[in-house]
Amino acid sequence: MRHDLVLRVVGKLLVPFILLFALYVQFHGDFGPGGGFQAGVIFAAGMVFYALIFGLENARRVMPDRLVETMLAAGVLLYAGVGVAGLLLGGNYLDYFVLDRNPVLGQHRGIFWVEVGVAVTVCGVMLKIFYMFASRGGADGPGPQ
Amino acid sequence: MAERGGRIIETLIVDLLLVLMALAVLVLARTRNLFAAVVLLGIYSFLMATAMVALDAVDVAMTEAAVGAGISTVLLLGALHLCRSQEAKPVHRPWLPLALSASTAVLLIHGALGLPDFADPQAPIHQHVAPRYLQNEVDVPNVVTAVLASFRGFDTLGETTVVFTAGVGIIALLRRRRPKAEGGADEA
């Protein structure tokens, strides 16, 4: 699909908005529909779209494998870390009430970081699975045809 | 009166979507062309996502559209690139699986008849912990987010770990060895 002019132009126009929409879904998830999982998947879908049109190599240059693999683990660690932070501040595991003097603000803080963790892991896993499949001689990967 | 009209239209839309989904599944079961099957799966997912929107479950609809119609279609197309696009003729007639699916469907329908009415406020599920969730002591307007991230934070931690494990499993299965080791078997 690399040589399709219409797809290239439309892709160039759309990809930034898809990524921006993912961030909106992430940070507006407390007020509207959405949350970490949806944001991670939409972000990954935007990157997959980019990779399909501009080639896997270009996508890999934007988000290298090292980064994606780090994201895989970093999200879960961040999530679990929020729980440990609750323990250190004298609450139960994953108790957000103790994360701030004001319990409601503590809840908001806990939910925010937990959602970030979910989004990072989900985005990393989706991208990694796509990279793995696509580089096995797939669409335009370097593998044997 | 206007509310009743809205009800009827909503029921019509959902029914139409369900009929279209059933059609998609029937065509899907008959087709031997795997490319058509993948596209039909995407159509099915989009219909499902629309039905979710009609039922006011926007969070689920978003996930369904992005995962079911977006990423899994791409992954299936990627897998299709590696194999032939015509399904092989089955060796056996699929009577046993058909009978199994049909009896499961009958059981499920029988079970669904015993469920409380749709959106019945007196249903047991709305009497248990839901009222406490809706009091919203965490003060987050989207109750879905509050339930997922706070009230059931431990469940969500488990789900995130499941996603992580899926990613690690894919890496373990599909990762190529370094070019140095490419003497004999080049794939793990």
Dump pLDDT digits (tens) for A65-121: 999 999 999 999 999 999 999 888 888 888 888 888 888 888 888 889 999 999 999
Q: Which residues contact B111 (CB under 8 A, 6 or more apart)?
A: none
Q: Is B12 on the interface with A (CB under 8 A)?
A: no
Min distance B19 CA to chain A CA atoms (Å): 27
Confidence of residue A2 (pLDDT cuts 50, 70, 90): low
Confidence of residue A19 (pLDDT cuts 50, 70, 90): very high
**Contact check, Cβ <8 Å, A118/B160:** yes
Q: Note whether residue A61 is domain-resident.
A: yes
Q: Note whether residue A145 is domain-resident.
A: no
Instruction: Return the number of CB contacts < 8 Å for A and B.
Output: 141
Q: Is B83 on the interface with A (CB under 8 A)?
A: no
Q: Note whether residue A144 is domain-resident.
A: no
Structure tokens at A121: 């892991």
Test the B interface: residue of A84, A107, A127, A145 with most B CBs within 10 Å: A107
Confidence of residue A137 (pLDDT cuts 50, 70, 90): low
Query: Which residue stretches of chain B have pLDDT < 50?
Result: 181-188
Q: What is the pTM of this model?
A: 0.83
- Burial label, B98 (beta-carbon count in 10 A; 0-12, 13-18, 19+): exposed
**Contact check, Cβ <8 Å, B62/A34:** yes
Q: Note whether residue A111 is domain-resident.
A: yes
Instruction: Output phi, psi for B176, to 5 deg.
Output: -80, 150
- How far apart CA A23 and CA A145 sit, in angstroms, is 37
Q: Report chain B residues whose CB lies below 8 A from the CB of A136.
A: 78, 82, 174
Report B:52-81 residues touching A (Cβ under 8 A).
Answer: 58-59, 62-63, 66-67, 70-71, 74-75, 78-79, 81
Question: Residue A60 belongs to what domain range?
Answer: 5-134
- How far apart CA B51 and CA B49 sit, in angstroms, is 5
Structure tokens at B101: 């699916």
Q: Note whether residue A143 is domain-resident.
A: no
Min distance B158 CA to chain A CA atoms (Å): 9
Report the number of distinct structural domains present in chain A. 1
- How far apart CA B14 and CA B71 sit, in angstroms, is 25
Q: Note whether residue A12 is domain-resident.
A: yes
Q: Report chain A residues whose CB lies below 8 A from the CB of B140.
A: 30-31, 107-108, 111
Q: Is B149 on the interface with A (CB under 8 A)?
A: yes
Give the residue among A79, A33, A85, A131 at the shortest CA–CA distance from B162: A79
Q: Which residues contact A7 (CB under 8 A, 6 or more apart)?
A: A1, A53
Residue ranges per domain, chain B? 1-87, 121-183
- How far apart CA A59 and CA A62 sit, in angstroms, is 5
Mean pLDDT, residues A118-143? 78
Whether the pLDDT of residue A9 is over 80: the answer is: yes
Min distance B138 CA to chain A CA atoms (Å): 6
Confidence of residue A138 (pLDDT cuts 50, 70, 90): very low
pLDDT at A44 (0 to 100): 92
Q: Report chain B residues whose CB lies below 8 A from the CB of A100.
A: none
Alpha carbon distance, N-terminus to C-terminus of chain B? 66
Q: Note whether residue A99 is domain-resident.
A: yes
**Average pLDDT across chain A, whole number:** 86
pLDDT at B188 (0 to 100): 40
**Contact check, Cβ <8 Å, B150/A42:** no
**Contact check, Cβ <8 Å, A35/B139:** no
Pair A54, A2: CB distance under 8 Å: yes
Rg (Cα) of chain A, in Å, rounded? Answer: 18
| A139 against A87, higher pLDDT | A87
pLDDT at A120 (0 to 100): 95
Min distance B154 CA to chain A CA atoms (Å): 7
**Contact check, Cβ <8 Å, A76/B168:** no
pLDDT at B2 (0 to 100): 62
